[in-house]
Amino acid sequence: MAKQYDAIVIGGGHNGLVNAAYLARAGKKVVVLERRHVLGGAAVTEEIIPGFKFSVFSYVVSLLRPEIIRDLDLPRHGLEILPLDGTFTPKPDGDYLWRVNDHAKTRRELERHSKLDAEAYEEFGKSMVAMCRFVKPLLGMIPPDPTSFNPRDLKKLAFLGKRFQSLPPDDMYNLVQLMTMSAADFLDQWFETDVLKATMSASGIIGTFLGIRSPGTAYVLLHHYMGEIDGAFRSWGFSRGGTGGISNAIGSAAREAGAEIRMEAPVARILVKNGEARGVVLEGGEEILAPIVSSSVDPKLTFLKFIESRELPSDFLDEVKQYKFRGSSGKVNLALDALPDFTCLPGPGRHIRGAISISPSTEYMERAYDQAKYGEYSHRPYIDIVIPTLTDPSVAPPGKHVMSCFVQYAPYKLASGTWDEQREAFGDTVINTISEYAPNLKKIIIGRQVVTPLDIERTTGLSEGNIFQGALSLEQLFFLRPVAGWARYRTPIKNLFMSGSATHPGGGIMGAPGRLAALEILKQKSKGGFRV
241 in contact with ligand FAD (CB under 6 A): no
Amino acid at 35: R
Tell whether residue 220 is a contact of ligand FAD (CB under 6 A).
no
CB 162, min distance to ligand FAD, A: 31
* Residue 320 is a binding residue for ligand FAD (CB under 6 A): no
Q: Is 291 in the site for ligand FAD (CB under 6 A)?
A: no
302, 329, 357, 449: which one contacts ligand FAD (CB under 6 A)? Answer: 329
Task: Check binding of 143 to ligand FAD (CB under 6 A).
Answer: no
- Nearest distance, CB of residue 348 and ligand FAD, angstroms: 23
Q: Interface with ligand FAD includes 63 (CB under 6 A)?
A: yes
Checking 286-289 for CB contacts under 8 A at 24+ apart, the result is: 286/2, 287/2, 288/2, 288/3, 288/5, 288/8, 288/31, 288/33, 289/2, 289/3, 289/4, 289/5
φ/ψ (deg, to 5) at 184: -65, -45
Q: Does 509 bind ligand FAD (CB under 6 A)?
A: yes
Angle CA(85)–CA(91)–CA(95) in degrees, nearest 5? 85
List the one residue from 25, 77, 99, 331 that touches ligand FAD (CB under 6 A): 331
Residue closer to ligand FAD by CB (options 113, 324) is 324
Q: How far is CA 214 from CA 124, 204, 412, 468, in A?
A: 21, 10, 19, 19
Distance of CA 83 to the CA centre of its chain: 18
Stretch of 36-44, 73-81, 84-92, 157-165 contacting ligand FAD, by CB under 6 A: 36-44
Separation CA 186–CA 219 (nearest Å): 10
Any contact of residue 34 with ligand FAD (CB under 6 A)? yes
CA distance 127 to 292: 43
Which stretch, 34-42, 107-115, 427-435, 482-490, contacts ligand FAD (CB under 6 A)?
34-42
Among 501, 504, 521, 530, binds ligand FAD (CB under 6 A): 501
| Residues between 260 and 279 with contacts to ligand FAD, criterion CB under 6 A | 266-267
Say whether residue 42 binds ligand FAD (CB under 6 A): yes
Compare residues 191 and 325 and give the one whose CB is closer to ligand FAD.
325
Contact with ligand FAD (CB under 6 A) among 60, 405, 487, 496: 60
* Rg of the chain in Å (alpha carbons): 23
Binding mask 4-23 for ligand FAD (x = CB under 6 A): ------xxxxxxx-------
Whether the Cβ atoms of residue 234 and residue 243 lie closer than 8 Å to each other: no
Backbone angles phi, psi at 53, to 5 degrees: -100, 115
Counting contacts by CB under 6 A, is residue 239 touching ligand FAD? no
Residue ranges of alpha helices (H) inside 334-391 are: 362-373
Output 129 or 263, the one with its CB closest to ligand FAD: 263
Per rule CB under 6 A, count of chain residues that contact ligand FAD: 40
In which region does residue 375 sit, left (phi positive, over 0), alpha (psi from -120 to 50) or beta (all else)? left
Of the candidates 408, 362, 383, 376, the one whose C-alpha atom is nearest the C-alpha of residue 205 is 408
Residue 237 binds ligand FAD, judged by CB under 6 A: no
456 binds ligand FAD (CB under 6 A): yes
Instruction: Tell me the C-alpha distance between 402 and 34, whole Å.
Output: 27
Q: List residues binding ligand FAD (CB under 6 A).
A: 10-16, 33-36, 41-43, 57-61, 63, 266-267, 296-297, 301, 329, 331, 406, 456, 460-462, 467-469, 500-501, 507-509
